[in-house]
């Protein structure tokens, strides 16, 4: 059996006890020292970068803004797909066309999500994409307004990914195993969901 070693302390970790953060394995001791999960959406957070509610619960930027802070600016990180969007917006403006295309919103700490975002590029209906910790019970967390599209895609493509209904609207959480083993299918799923015309504006 192949062994997993903690990214931080190097100890061997039994398969059942491995904790994942940003696609790296940790022992539970090191994980608990450095990471935590968003109270709302389950995404992995670096403790020092999490937002804390008055009750001391950790939240990711996205959920924290939605819950507590209506004034704070959106994630200011700009990457390749954002640049393409800006170029397209300027060009459309020059030619007097309007566009409501956008890029996926992601937690920029996550390397795989950044790759997915760049692969997907500009979409008609941007959604918020986040990384899920792997669970037995589900591999996708899907806002109710995206649910029909996701289920239809999975059915048409013969994928038996486990889905639960998540909070909010236009939010899609993808487990580590899907991000790692089904990268292509994940891209197709996101492209299909963000093309649909039944979505609410993000």
Task: List residues near Zn ion by CB under 5 A.
Answer: 6, 8-9, 27, 30, 38, 40-41, 60, 63
Of the two residues 8 and 145, which places its CB atom closer to Zn ion in the complex? Answer: 8
Phi, psi torsion values for 34, nearest 5 degrees: -115, -30
Minimum Å gap between C-beta 39 and Zn ion is 7
Quickly list DSSP for the chain: ---EE-TTT--EE-GGG-EEETTEEE-HHHHHHHEEE-TTT--EEEGGGSEE-TT--EE-HHHHHHHT-SSSPPP----HHHHHHHHHHHHHHHTT-----B--EE-TT-HHHHHHHHHH-SBSS--EEEEEPP-SS-SEEEEHHHHHHHHHHHHHTT----EEEESSSSEEEEEHHHHHH-HHHHHHHHHHHHH-SSPPP-
- Least distance (Å) from Zn ion to the CB of residue 26? 6
What is the spatial distance between Cα 59 and Cα 40, in angstroms, rounded to a whole number? 7
Looking at beta carbons only, is 61 or 190 nearer to Zn ion? 61
Q: Write down the least CB distance from residue 30 to Zn ion, Å.
A: 3
Residue number, 28 or 99, with CB nearest to Zn ion: 28
Interatomic CA distance for residues 173 and 168, integer angstroms? 12
Please report how close the Cβ of residue 99 comes to Zn ion at its closest, in angstroms. Answer: 28
Nearer to Zn ion, 4 or 145 (CB): 4
Tell me how far, at minimum, the Cβ of 142 lies from Zn ion, in Å.
15
CB of 78 to Zn ion, least distance (A): 22
Residue number with CB closer to Zn ion (38 or 189): 38
Nearer to Zn ion by Cβ, of 60 and 199: the residue is 60
């Amino acid at each position: 059996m192949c062994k997993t070693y903690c990214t931080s302390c190097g100890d061997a970790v039994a398969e059942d006890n491995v904790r994942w953060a940003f696609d790296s394995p940790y022992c539970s001791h090191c994980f608990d020292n450095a990471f935590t999960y968003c109270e709302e959406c389950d995404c992995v957070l670096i403790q020092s970068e999490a937002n804390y509610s008055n009750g001391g619960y950790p939240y990711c930027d996205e959920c924290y803004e939605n819950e507590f802070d209506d004034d704070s600016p959106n994630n200011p990180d700009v990457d390749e797909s954002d640049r393409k969007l800006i170029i397209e917006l300027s060009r459309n403006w020059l030619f007097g066309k309007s566009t409501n295309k956008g890029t996926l919103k992601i937690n920029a700490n996550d390397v795989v999500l950044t790759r997915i975002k760049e692969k997907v590029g500009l979409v008609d209906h941007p959604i918020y994409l986040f990384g899920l910790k792997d669970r037995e019970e589900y591999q996708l967390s899907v806002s109710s307004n995206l649910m029909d599209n996701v289920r239809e895609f999975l059915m048409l493509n013969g994928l038996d990914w486990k889905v639960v209904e998540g909070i909010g609207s236009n939010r899609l959480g993808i487990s580590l195993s899907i991000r790692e083993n089904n990268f292509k299918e994940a891209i197709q799923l996101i492209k299909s969901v963000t093309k649909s015309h039944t979505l609410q504006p993000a």
